[in-house]
Structure 1
Protein backbone atom coordinates (compact mmCIF):
# COMPACT_ATOMS: atom_id res chain seq x y z
CA UNK A 1 0.00 0.00 0.00
CA UNK A 2 1.35 3.39 -0.97
CA UNK A 3 0.75 6.11 1.61
CA UNK A 4 0.13 9.64 0.35
CA UNK A 5 1.28 12.29 2.81
CA UNK A 6 0.05 15.84 3.05
CA UNK A 7 2.67 18.57 3.22
CA UNK A 8 1.90 19.02 6.93
CA UNK A 9 2.27 15.28 7.62
CA UNK A 10 5.57 15.18 5.72
CA UNK A 11 6.92 18.14 7.70
CA UNK A 12 5.75 16.60 10.96
CA UNK A 13 7.36 13.28 10.12
CA UNK A 14 10.63 15.00 9.19
CA UNK A 15 10.61 16.72 12.58
CA UNK A 16 9.79 13.38 14.23
CA UNK A 17 12.71 11.81 12.39
CA UNK A 18 15.04 14.41 13.89
CA UNK A 19 13.56 13.83 17.36
CA UNK A 20 13.94 10.06 17.13
CA UNK A 21 17.50 10.34 15.84
CA UNK A 22 18.34 12.55 18.82
CA UNK A 23 16.69 10.07 21.21
CA UNK A 24 18.70 7.16 19.77
CA UNK A 25 21.94 9.12 20.13
CA UNK A 26 21.11 10.25 23.67
CA UNK A 27 20.23 6.77 24.90
CA UNK A 28 23.36 5.29 23.30
CA UNK A 29 25.62 8.01 24.67
CA UNK A 30 24.03 7.96 28.12
CA UNK A 31 24.37 4.18 28.24
CA UNK A 32 28.12 4.64 27.93
CA UNK A 33 28.10 7.27 30.69
CA UNK A 34 25.81 5.51 33.18
CA UNK A 35 27.42 3.96 36.25
CA UNK A 36 24.69 1.44 37.14
CA UNK A 37 24.84 -1.70 34.92
CA UNK A 38 21.04 -2.02 35.21
CA UNK A 39 20.66 1.54 33.90
CA UNK A 40 23.06 0.84 31.02
CA UNK A 41 20.87 -2.11 30.06
CA UNK A 42 17.70 -0.01 30.24
CA UNK A 43 19.24 2.75 28.11
CA UNK A 44 20.39 0.24 25.48
CA UNK A 45 16.92 -1.29 25.25
CA UNK A 46 15.29 2.12 24.96
CA UNK A 47 17.80 3.09 22.27
CA UNK A 48 16.65 0.04 20.27
CA UNK A 49 13.03 1.08 20.75
CA UNK A 50 13.79 4.63 19.60
CA UNK A 51 15.59 3.20 16.57
CA UNK A 52 12.42 1.28 15.74
CA UNK A 53 10.47 4.56 15.93
CA UNK A 54 12.95 6.00 13.44
CA UNK A 55 12.30 3.02 11.14
CA UNK A 56 8.53 3.60 11.39
CA UNK A 57 8.91 7.25 10.42
CA UNK A 58 11.29 6.44 7.57
CA UNK A 59 8.78 3.91 6.21
CA UNK A 60 6.01 6.50 6.29
CA UNK A 61 8.22 9.09 4.59
CA UNK A 62 8.90 6.53 1.83
CA UNK A 63 5.15 6.03 1.41
CA UNK A 64 5.23 2.51 2.89
CA UNK A 65 3.15 0.97 5.65
CA UNK A 66 5.30 0.71 8.78
CA UNK A 67 5.85 -2.45 10.81
CA UNK A 68 4.54 -1.56 14.26
CA UNK A 69 5.03 -5.04 15.73
CA UNK A 70 8.82 -5.02 16.20
CA UNK A 71 8.73 -2.30 18.85
CA UNK A 72 6.06 -4.26 20.73
CA UNK A 73 8.54 -7.13 21.19
CA UNK A 74 11.15 -4.75 22.62
CA UNK A 75 8.49 -3.26 24.89
CA UNK A 76 7.48 -6.71 26.16
CA UNK A 77 11.11 -7.48 26.94
CA UNK A 78 11.42 -4.17 28.76
CA UNK A 79 8.38 -5.00 30.81
CA UNK A 80 9.73 -8.40 31.78
CA UNK A 81 13.37 -7.43 32.32
CA UNK A 82 13.18 -3.91 33.61
CA UNK A 83 10.08 -3.26 35.64
CA UNK A 84 10.56 -6.13 38.05
CA UNK A 85 14.27 -5.55 38.58
CA UNK A 86 14.14 -1.76 38.91
CA UNK A 87 11.22 -1.76 41.32
CA UNK A 88 12.87 -4.24 43.64
CA UNK A 89 15.79 -3.24 45.86
CA UNK A 90 19.03 -5.19 45.61
CA UNK A 91 18.66 -7.90 48.25
CA UNK A 92 21.40 -10.32 47.26
CA UNK A 93 22.70 -12.53 50.02
CA UNK A 94 26.14 -10.88 49.78
CA UNK A 95 24.83 -7.41 50.66
CA UNK A 96 22.99 -6.38 53.80
CA UNK A 97 19.34 -5.55 53.23
CA UNK A 98 19.54 -1.82 53.87
CA UNK A 99 18.42 1.20 51.92
CA UNK A 100 22.05 2.19 51.45
CA UNK A 101 23.00 -1.11 49.82
CA UNK A 102 19.90 -1.10 47.59
CA UNK A 103 20.87 2.34 46.30
CA UNK A 104 24.50 1.51 45.65
CA UNK A 105 24.25 2.89 42.12
CA UNK A 106 22.40 6.05 43.14
CA UNK A 107 24.99 8.34 41.57
CA UNK A 108 24.46 12.05 40.92
CA UNK A 109 25.62 11.60 37.32
CA UNK A 110 23.06 8.82 36.69
CA UNK A 111 20.36 11.05 38.19
CA UNK A 112 21.34 13.86 35.80
CA UNK A 113 21.16 11.49 32.81
CA UNK A 114 17.76 10.23 33.93
CA UNK A 115 16.39 13.75 34.46
CA UNK A 116 17.53 14.72 30.98
CA UNK A 117 15.95 11.65 29.39
CA UNK A 118 12.70 11.98 31.33
CA UNK A 119 12.42 15.59 30.13
CA UNK A 120 13.15 14.43 26.59
CA UNK A 121 10.43 11.77 26.77
CA UNK A 122 7.92 14.31 28.09
CA UNK A 123 8.68 16.62 25.17
CA UNK A 124 8.64 13.87 22.55
CA UNK A 125 5.33 12.49 23.85
CA UNK A 126 3.70 15.91 23.61
CA UNK A 127 5.19 16.35 20.13
CA UNK A 128 3.44 13.16 19.00
CA UNK A 129 0.22 14.19 20.71
CA UNK A 130 0.02 17.22 18.45
CA UNK A 131 1.01 15.14 15.42
CA UNK A 132 -1.87 12.74 16.03
CA UNK A 133 -4.35 15.63 15.84
CA UNK A 134 -2.65 17.17 12.80
CA UNK A 135 -2.66 14.00 10.65
CA UNK A 136 -5.39 13.45 8.08
CA UNK A 137 -4.07 10.03 7.04
CA UNK A 138 -5.37 7.26 9.30
CA UNK A 139 -2.24 5.13 8.94
CA UNK A 140 0.03 8.05 9.86
CA UNK A 141 -2.18 8.89 12.83
CA UNK A 142 -2.13 5.28 14.08
CA UNK A 143 1.65 5.08 13.73
CA UNK A 144 2.09 8.31 15.69
CA UNK A 145 -0.29 7.03 18.37
CA UNK A 146 1.73 3.83 18.57
CA UNK A 147 4.99 5.75 18.96
CA UNK A 148 3.45 8.10 21.52
CA UNK A 149 2.26 5.20 23.70
CA UNK A 150 5.77 3.75 23.61
CA UNK A 151 7.31 7.13 24.47
CA UNK A 152 4.98 7.36 27.46
CA UNK A 153 6.07 3.86 28.47
CA UNK A 154 9.70 4.97 28.25
CA UNK A 155 8.91 7.85 30.58
CA UNK A 156 7.22 5.45 32.97
CA UNK A 157 10.26 3.14 33.00
CA UNK A 158 12.60 6.06 33.65
CA UNK A 159 10.34 7.39 36.39
CA UNK A 160 10.05 3.95 38.01
CA UNK A 161 13.82 3.56 38.04
CA UNK A 162 14.28 7.01 39.54
CA UNK A 163 11.54 6.54 42.11
CA UNK A 164 12.77 3.10 43.20
CA UNK A 165 16.32 4.49 43.60
CA UNK A 166 15.30 7.54 45.62
CA UNK A 167 15.97 9.97 42.75
CA UNK A 168 12.36 11.08 42.24
CA UNK A 169 10.24 11.12 45.33
CA UNK A 170 6.50 11.48 45.07
CA UNK A 171 5.09 12.94 48.25
Structure 2
Protein backbone atom coordinates (compact mmCIF):
# COMPACT_ATOMS: atom_id res chain seq x y z
CA UNK A 1 0.00 0.00 0.00
CA UNK A 2 1.33 3.41 -0.97
CA UNK A 3 1.38 6.22 1.58
CA UNK A 4 1.36 9.90 0.73
CA UNK A 5 3.44 12.18 2.94
CA UNK A 6 2.84 15.82 3.68
CA UNK A 7 5.79 18.18 3.32
CA UNK A 8 6.07 18.35 7.12
CA UNK A 9 6.02 14.57 7.50
CA UNK A 10 8.72 14.24 4.85
CA UNK A 11 10.89 16.83 6.62
CA UNK A 12 10.47 15.14 10.00
CA UNK A 13 11.14 11.69 8.56
CA UNK A 14 14.31 12.94 6.87
CA UNK A 15 15.47 14.28 10.25
CA UNK A 16 14.53 10.98 11.90
CA UNK A 17 16.47 9.04 9.29
CA UNK A 18 19.57 11.11 10.07
CA UNK A 19 19.07 10.52 13.80
CA UNK A 20 18.80 6.77 13.23
CA UNK A 21 21.97 6.78 11.11
CA UNK A 22 23.78 8.50 13.97
CA UNK A 23 22.37 6.04 16.51
CA UNK A 24 23.54 3.05 14.45
CA UNK A 25 27.04 4.53 14.18
CA UNK A 26 27.19 5.35 17.89
CA UNK A 27 26.01 1.94 19.05
CA UNK A 28 28.33 0.06 16.69
CA UNK A 29 31.30 2.29 17.51
CA UNK A 30 30.73 2.17 21.24
CA UNK A 31 30.26 -1.61 21.15
CA UNK A 32 33.82 -1.83 19.86
CA UNK A 33 35.10 0.31 22.73
CA UNK A 34 33.42 -1.17 25.81
CA UNK A 35 35.13 -3.64 28.10
CA UNK A 36 32.21 -5.85 29.14
CA UNK A 37 31.12 -8.55 26.67
CA UNK A 38 27.54 -8.42 27.98
CA UNK A 39 27.46 -4.69 27.28
CA UNK A 40 29.03 -5.16 23.85
CA UNK A 41 26.25 -7.63 22.96
CA UNK A 42 23.57 -5.26 24.26
CA UNK A 43 24.91 -2.36 22.20
CA UNK A 44 25.11 -4.48 19.03
CA UNK A 45 21.54 -5.67 19.60
CA UNK A 46 20.32 -2.09 19.92
CA UNK A 47 22.37 -1.08 16.85
CA UNK A 48 20.40 -3.64 14.83
CA UNK A 49 17.12 -2.25 16.15
CA UNK A 50 18.23 1.27 15.24
CA UNK A 51 19.04 0.03 11.73
CA UNK A 52 15.53 -1.40 11.55
CA UNK A 53 14.12 2.03 12.50
CA UNK A 54 16.24 3.61 9.77
CA UNK A 55 14.89 1.10 7.26
CA UNK A 56 11.29 1.76 8.34
CA UNK A 57 11.73 5.50 7.89
CA UNK A 58 13.39 4.97 4.52
CA UNK A 59 10.43 2.84 3.40
CA UNK A 60 8.00 5.62 4.37
CA UNK A 61 10.10 8.20 2.54
CA UNK A 62 9.80 6.00 -0.55
CA UNK A 63 6.01 6.05 -0.15
CA UNK A 64 5.76 2.49 1.14
CA UNK A 65 4.04 1.25 4.25
CA UNK A 66 6.86 0.34 6.65
CA UNK A 67 7.60 -3.20 7.75
CA UNK A 68 7.40 -2.94 11.53
CA UNK A 69 8.45 -6.50 12.34
CA UNK A 70 12.00 -7.00 13.49
CA UNK A 71 14.12 -9.58 11.74
CA UNK A 72 14.73 -11.37 15.04
CA UNK A 73 18.45 -11.64 14.38
CA UNK A 74 20.76 -11.39 17.33
CA UNK A 75 23.84 -9.24 17.25
CA UNK A 76 27.27 -10.68 16.79
CA UNK A 77 29.84 -8.32 18.26
CA UNK A 78 32.89 -7.55 16.22
CA UNK A 79 36.07 -8.70 17.90
CA UNK A 80 38.05 -5.54 18.49
CA UNK A 81 40.67 -5.73 21.23
CA UNK A 82 41.81 -2.11 20.93
CA UNK A 83 40.32 -0.85 24.18
CA UNK A 84 40.82 2.52 25.80
CA UNK A 85 43.65 2.74 28.31
CA UNK A 86 41.32 4.29 30.89
CA UNK A 87 39.41 2.22 33.40
CA UNK A 88 36.86 0.12 31.56
CA UNK A 89 34.12 0.94 34.03
CA UNK A 90 34.75 4.69 33.77
CA UNK A 91 34.96 4.60 29.97
CA UNK A 92 31.93 2.34 29.68
CA UNK A 93 29.98 4.65 31.97
CA UNK A 94 30.83 7.71 29.87
CA UNK A 95 29.73 5.95 26.68
CA UNK A 96 26.51 4.76 28.33
CA UNK A 97 25.73 8.24 29.63
CA UNK A 98 26.08 9.57 26.08
CA UNK A 99 23.85 6.81 24.68
CA UNK A 100 21.20 7.39 27.34
CA UNK A 101 21.20 11.13 26.58
CA UNK A 102 20.88 10.30 22.88
CA UNK A 103 17.89 8.03 23.56
CA UNK A 104 16.22 10.77 25.61
CA UNK A 105 16.69 13.24 22.75
CA UNK A 106 15.51 10.83 20.05
CA UNK A 107 12.45 9.79 22.05
CA UNK A 108 11.53 13.47 22.49
CA UNK A 109 12.00 14.05 18.76
CA UNK A 110 9.62 11.20 18.00
CA UNK A 111 7.11 12.54 20.52
CA UNK A 112 6.87 15.74 18.48
CA UNK A 113 6.78 13.80 15.22
CA UNK A 114 3.80 11.72 16.42
CA UNK A 115 1.82 14.91 17.00
CA UNK A 116 2.82 16.33 13.62
CA UNK A 117 2.00 13.21 11.57
CA UNK A 118 -1.23 13.55 9.60
CA UNK A 119 -1.03 10.09 8.05
CA UNK A 120 -2.23 7.37 10.45
CA UNK A 121 0.30 4.84 9.06
CA UNK A 122 3.16 7.29 9.67
CA UNK A 123 1.88 8.04 13.17
CA UNK A 124 1.58 4.33 13.98
CA UNK A 125 5.12 3.62 12.71
CA UNK A 126 6.60 6.53 14.66
CA UNK A 127 4.80 5.42 17.82
CA UNK A 128 6.29 1.95 17.29
CA UNK A 129 9.78 3.42 16.89
CA UNK A 130 9.35 5.68 19.91
CA UNK A 131 8.31 2.74 22.08
CA UNK A 132 11.45 0.89 20.96
CA UNK A 133 13.60 3.93 21.75
CA UNK A 134 12.12 4.10 25.24
CA UNK A 135 12.91 0.40 25.59
CA UNK A 136 16.52 1.10 24.58
CA UNK A 137 16.72 3.75 27.28
CA UNK A 138 15.33 1.30 29.80
CA UNK A 139 17.90 -1.37 28.84
CA UNK A 140 20.74 1.15 29.14
CA UNK A 141 19.41 2.40 32.48
CA UNK A 142 19.03 -1.14 33.83
CA UNK A 143 22.58 -2.05 32.83
CA UNK A 144 23.96 1.17 34.34
CA UNK A 145 21.94 0.80 37.53
CA UNK A 146 22.93 -2.85 38.02
CA UNK A 147 26.63 -1.98 37.49
CA UNK A 148 26.73 0.98 39.88
CA UNK A 149 26.82 3.58 37.08
CA UNK A 150 23.41 5.13 37.77
CA UNK A 151 22.38 5.45 41.37
CA UNK A 152 18.68 5.96 41.97
CA UNK A 153 18.22 7.81 45.22
TM-score by length of 1: 0.80
SS in 2 for 1:68: coil
Instruction: Verify: 1:18 aligned to 2:10, yes or no.
Output: no
Q: Which residue of 2 aligns with 1:153?
A: 135
Alignment of 1:56-95 (within 5 A): 56-70=56-70, 73=72
Q: C-alpha root-mean-square deviation of aligned residues, in Å? A: 1.6
Instruction: Name the structure 1 match of 2:5.
Output: 5
1:73-99 Cα shifts (integer Å, max 9, x gaps): 46xx79xxxxxxxxxxxxxxxxxxxxx
Counterpart position of 2:80: none
Matches of 1:163 and 1:107, distance apart in 2 = 13
Higher helix share: 1
1:103-136 per-position Cα deviation (integer Å, ceiling 9, x unaligned):
xx96100000000000000000000000000000
TM score, norm. by length of structure 2:
0.89
Quick check: 2:34–2:88 contact (8 Å CA) kept in 1? no
CA apart distance, 1:69: 1.1
| Residue from 110, 127, 150 that aligns with 2:109 | 127
* Secondary structure, aligned partner of 1:57: helix
- Aligned to 1:112, the other structure's residue is in SS state helix
- Kindly name which structure, 1 or 2, has the bigger radius of gyration based on alpha carbons: 1
Instruction: Give yes or no for the alignment of 1:140 onto 2:128.
Output: no
Q: Distance in 2 between matches of 1:21 and 1:146?
A: 18
Q: Which residues of structure 1 form unaligned runs of 5+?
A: 79-104
**Runs of at least 4 residues off by over 6 Å:** none
State the 1:48 CA deviation.
0.2
Stretches of structure 2 lacking an aligned partner (at least 5 in a row): 76-86
Could you tell me which residue of structure 1 aligns to residue 98 of structure 2?
A: 116
Query: Who is 1:34 aligned against?
Result: 34
